Copies of this chain bind each other. A is one copy, B any other.
Amino acid sequence: MSQAEATLPAGRDVVLGAALEAFFEQGYHGTSMRNIAARAGSAVSHAYYYFPSKSDLLRALILQVTADLLAALKVARAGAGPAPEAQLRAIVRAHVALHTERQAESFVGNTELRSLGEGDRAQAVALRDQVGALFRNVVSAGMDRDVFRCPHRDEAVLAIMTMCTSVATWYRADGPLPAEVIGERYAELALNMVGWQNN
């Protein structure tokens, strides 16, 4: 017999996906284990078969997406060649891409950090700091070679990162612009912010 049509068997990923959906829509504390179970189409106790607690669901989601973001940015930078403007363009594009393709995870990762336990939060913050360091390095390189000119590097970097992160707040897949176009335009904005002079 092929798969049932009603509710396919609920495994680890189904529970995690249901938790993500719920956290995204209602927030971590606004979501109950019963709500997650209902979305997953299984019993509450079933979720506890895969995850020891509610906060472990949040941890799994946040650490995963944060690590993936850092990895994606490293790949993007490595593939962009040596020019700082190309590298900045690449990491802004990659940042926006991940925050649109995996919007729910990104949003939850940015808004529910405080709901994480102390140790897990420190782990996530460490990853986030590495993302910040990567942006800072790229901008610094451009300033050293005088291809970027901005009077306040740290504020520019912070502003670029927060504007990119906020994409997960307002993006709609059925909006007027495809995600790639948004990434492209945000890259241009970022280059303006660091004072890149197009020749």
Contact = CB atoms under 8 A, between A and B. Distances in A.
A111 B152 CA distance: 28
Contacts of A162: 162-163, 166, 169-170
A71 to B, nearest CB: 24
A182 interface: yes
Copies in the complex: 2
A166 B176 CA distance: 24
A111 B114 contact: no
A156 interface: yes
A101 interface: no
Interface stretch (A44-52, A77-85, A184-192): A184-192
A123 interface: no
Interface in A12-30: 25-30
A129 interface: no
A166 B188 CA distance: 20
Interface in A158-185: 158-160, 162-163, 165-166, 169-170, 182, 185
A158 B159 CA distance: 13
Contact of A29 (B25, B30, B111, B155): B30
